Structure 1
Amino acid sequence: MSFFPAGFDPRADVVGALDLVQIDTPDGVFGFLCGVDGTFTATDGVTYVGSSLVSCSEIESAIQGTAPAGEIGLTFFQDPDAPDLVQEVRELGIDYVRGRVITLLFQPLRSFEEFHAPALPPIPWARRTMTRLTFSASGSLERRITVGFETPFAGRNTAPNLFYTTEDHARLTGAPNPSLQFMPRDNYQEQKLFG
């Protein structure tokens, strides 16, 4: 099975490509274009809203036991006469995104016409888990809302902080091991083994 859709040759000349992001929320899936103004409607009918104010960090692959993190953010100037966007997002709470999926997609464009009528579907190349929602302010009006994410394998390369006890063995495997009750708890020797 090929990673690329039928009709797309990755070695052929292309006019361009778009970086697309889908964020899964309780209110549905929202699509964004990173660093590009305008809107783009994919072949599956999903509309991606873009802005040069939306930025996405460099994404690394999860290899060699790492769970690289990334973030997508919106930097904007708050209109004093408009509702406070940061406050509205803050009221949604961290559970609005935490533990939900963010999908990163690649949209190949073989001709200029495909900017307005794409012939190929977007190619999902990474799915990550959203973990945090942060806010920052610079000056009186500049604001930034950031959604952080990491691979679902975060924490698997760290020690589980378990010991050789019957209880911890049951937590790890789901079944107790009664023989571990005889496991020595320290390395103190009452009588020297040699000399």
Structure 2
Amino acid sequence: MTQSTPGSTTPPGWYPDPSDPRFVRWWDGHAWTANQAPRQAQYQPAFQPPRTEISPQTPVYNPFIWAITLLPLVSLVFMLTWQPEFRMVTTRQGVTTVDPLSIYTPGYFLLMVSGFVIYGLSVFFAYLDHQRLLKSGVVRPFHWAWAFLSAFVYVIGRSVIVQKVAQKRGLWPVWATIAVFVVSMVIAGIWTSNLMQSMMSSFGYSVST
């Protein structure tokens, strides 16, 4: 197609410009036209090496993944140390209400701060765990940035990938996370019940047990 050829069987279309390979030119089926456009590079997907199994002797657990799993218990400890008194005060308008200072104690702010600290530590430990898995030979481990969404999401994704390359190992962090969640919910439920009873007693209501 480097020249006009009557009777050519080449169908009309865009083809590499014979005068400049950086462009494509429209072939109308008989001759080159003046229509020209930049040549677009063909898309080539990035090569991703397959995940291969690691040796049975290669450790798949490390202190960082266990720290991520157990960190919620630290927040639970701070919650148990917060014991508001629910003192009642009377405003100038004669309205009786709860004294805010009896709720927003140092223990309350410590509990709030601990939540942010635990979140940050979870992301940091996820990064360290990701680096440790790379050094152990795990190809494309679950990315640590998922911990920004939730530590539980990272633990699940990490365990699924490790389980695929470590011969059915790697799921213990998931079970540990579930156990920590169940224990935390039970303790938090009991603590909340006691807190509500204390609040109702402060309001002058009789709470039967």
TM-score by length of structure 2 reads: 0.23
- The structure with more helix, counted as a fraction of residues: 2
TM-score by length of structure 1 reads: 0.24
- The structure with more strand, counted as a fraction of residues: 1
User: Which structure has the larger Rg?
Assistant: 2
